[in-house]
């Protein structure tokens, strides 16, 4: 089953490669590697790699080191596993020579200039005339349309994250810190069955919630002020991403007004999502509403983004890059209003584009934001 899924992805990628100006494709992005091989090794940090794929019309190679060799053989049976001992660049010319590579496509999003220079130098030393061809968003083109099993994994991740949040709300009262709340939520996410968190949760109270990506700290939540949560779970490598803003006890009228604007802008955007429409136009619907209500300058970020093996991936629902929405695309819809000194409200749901519109993957209520204390 998994083997069939991987084979299908490789076949679709090979069709794309056939139209490109290179004969060997070097896959460097961790999520693309997993998507095309099933290998779950993680890169840990930007200057490390757990392995690199080399894909040609007829060959599949996963080059890795001794830490991952055994795992790669188990997880990626379609691939020839090559274990490099002195770093990949030393063995690159041999691997590419065996593949008869003339032009090497590489994922330019992931190769640092320093690494690029070293590869160039090593190939030159080895007397190779292989041309390096930068490639942008090729595997991402495949990843953007999710299959039903992928959508199921994201739904499951969303459900787990929501259970964790609902449980978390039961155990918080005024005086608890953001960091303490974050730990309860993190623990709940794991206990509810997640493989991992999608990202470190954002939990921000009062004025801190005016920072869209605030880090949970020692501030204690007070009754009635905005309490913003942004969190997610991972299942089978697939990420969920949800935000809610609540108040412990009754908020003031200002909060209710801001909440309603954000709520309406999200609903208007979701209602407009369907195949064939421009991602930019969806962003504009939400943004125009917030603008008309006088808060345009307090909504700085894009309306949403795709989510899958990465928490942020195409399509973006923002004002800059345009995607035409297609069935199977998954995106967040997350308008927000952030007022320095007061706080912010962000409401983030995930949707999948279906033939007849958007299916919302969340089941958490947006109408009730008051947590009884």
Q: Which does 75 bind (CB under 5 to 8 A by kind): ligand GLY, Mn ion, none?
A: none
The enclosing H or E element of 369 equals: none
The enclosing H or E element of 229 equals: strand 227-231
Interior/surface letters 20-58, b for 16+ CB within 10 angstroms, e for the rest: eebbbbbbbbbbbbbbbbbbbbbbeeeeebbbbbbbbee
Beta carbon of residue 8, minimum distance to ligand GLY (angstroms, whole number) = 29
Is residue 230 involved in binding Mn ion (CB under 5 A)?
A: yes
* Contact set for ligand GLY, span 205-264 (CB under 6 A): 230, 241
Q: Phi, psi at residue 216, to the nearest 5°?
A: -60, 130
Quote the tokens at residue 20: 């490109």
Nearest to 206 by CA among 317, 354, 345, 316: 345
Task: Decide: residue 232, CB within 10 A, 0-12 exposed, 13-18 middle, 19+ buried.
Answer: buried
| Contacting range for Mn ion; rule: CB under 5 A; set: 75-83, 110-118, 159-167, 342-350 | 342-350
Is residue 283 involved in binding ligand GLY (CB under 6 A)?
A: no
Beta carbon of residue 335, minimum distance to ligand GLY (angstroms, whole number) = 11
Nearest to 206 by CA among 69, 340, 54: 340
Q: Which does 310 bind (CB under 5 to 8 A by kind): ligand GLY, Mn ion, none?
A: none
Q: Which does 199 bind (CB under 5 to 8 A by kind): Mn ion, ligand GLY, none?
A: ligand GLY
Is residue 199 involved in binding ligand GLY (CB under 6 A)?
A: yes
The enclosing H or E element of 309 equals: none
- Interface characters, 146-185, with ligand GLY (x: CB under 6 A): ----------------------------------------
Closer Cβ to ligand GLY, 225 or 230, answer by number:
230
Give the residue, chosen from 31, 150, 162, 241, that forms a contact with Mn ion under the rule CB under 5 A.
Answer: 241
Closer Cβ to Mn ion, 89 or 364, answer by number:
364
Tell me the site size for Mn ion, rule CB under 5 A.
5
* Contact set for ligand GLY, span 326-365 (CB under 6 A): 334, 348
Task: Decide: residue 154, CB within 10 A, 0-12 exposed, 13-18 middle, 19+ buried.
Answer: buried
| Contacting range for Mn ion; rule: CB under 5 A; set: 38-46, 210-218, 267-275, 343-351 | 343-351
Between CA 216 and CA 39, with CA 183 as vertex, the angle to 5 degrees is: 100
Given 3-state DSSP classes, what are the helix, strand and coil percentages for the chain, each rounded to the nearest 5? 40, 25, 40
Closer Cβ to ligand GLY, 123 or 161, answer by number:
161
Tell me the site size for ligand GLY, rule CB under 6 A.
5
In DSSP notation, 181-221 reads HHHHHHHHHHHTT-SEESSPPEEEEGGGGGSTTPPP-SPBP
Q: Which does 162 bind (CB under 5 to 8 A by kind): Mn ion, ligand GLY, none?
A: none
- Sheet containing strand 330-333, edge to edge, reads 330-333, 349-354, 357-360
Beta carbon of residue 218, minimum distance to ligand GLY (angstroms, whole number) = 21
Q: Which does 208 bind (CB under 5 to 8 A by kind): ligand GLY, Mn ion, none?
A: none
Beta carbon of residue 229, minimum distance to ligand GLY (angstroms, whole number) = 10
Binding site for Mn ion (CB under 5 A): 230, 241, 243, 332, 348
Binding site for ligand GLY (CB under 6 A): 199, 230, 241, 334, 348
């Amino acid at each position: 089953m998994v083997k069939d899924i991987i084979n299908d992805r490789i076949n679709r990628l090979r069709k794309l490669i056939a139209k490109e100006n290179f004969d060997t494709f070097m896959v460097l992005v961790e999520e693309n590697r997993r998507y095309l091989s099933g290998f779950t090794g993680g890169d840990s940090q930007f200057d490390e790699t757990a392995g690199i794929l080399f894909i040609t019309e007829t060959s599949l190679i996963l080059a890795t080191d001794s830490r991952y060799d055994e795992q790669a053989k188990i997880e990626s049976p379609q691939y020839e596993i090559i274990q490099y001992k002195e770093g990949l660049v030393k063995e690159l010319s041999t691997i590419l020579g065996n593949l008869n590579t003339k032009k090497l496509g590489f994922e330019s999003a992931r190769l640092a200039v320093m690494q690029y220079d070293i590869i160039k130098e090593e190939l030159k030393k080895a007397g190779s005339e292989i041309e390096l061809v930068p490639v942008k968003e090729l595997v991402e083109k495949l990843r953007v349309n999710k299959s039903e099993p992928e959508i199921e994994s994201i739904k499951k991740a969303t459900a787990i994250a929501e259970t964790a949040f609902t449980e978390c709300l039961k155990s918080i009262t005024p005086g608890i810190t953001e960091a303490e709340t974050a730990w309860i939520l993190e623990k709940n996410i794991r206990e509810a069955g997640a493989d991992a968190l999608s990202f470190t949760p954002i939990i921000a109270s009062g004025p801190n919630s005016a920072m869209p990506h605030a880090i949970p700290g020692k501030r204690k939540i007070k009754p009635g002020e905005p309490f913003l949560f942004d969190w997610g779970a991972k299942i089978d490598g697939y990420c969920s991403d949800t935000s809610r803003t609540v108040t412990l006890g009754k908020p003031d009228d200002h909060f209710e007004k801001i909440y309603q604007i954000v709520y309406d802008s999200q609903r208007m955007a979701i209602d407009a999502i369907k195949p064939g429409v421009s991602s930019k136009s969806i962003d504009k619907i939400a943004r125009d509403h917030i603008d008309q209500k006088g808060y345009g300058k307090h909504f700085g970020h894009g309306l949403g983004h795709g989510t899958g093996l990465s928490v942020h991936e195409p399509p973006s629902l923002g004002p800059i890059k345009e995607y035409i929405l297609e069935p199977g695309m998954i995106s967040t819809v997350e308008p927000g209003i952030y007022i320095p000194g007061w706080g912010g409200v962000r409401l983030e749901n995930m949707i999948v584009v279906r033939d007849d519109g958007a299916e919302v993957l969340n089941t958490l209520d947006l109408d009730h934001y008051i947590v009884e204390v």
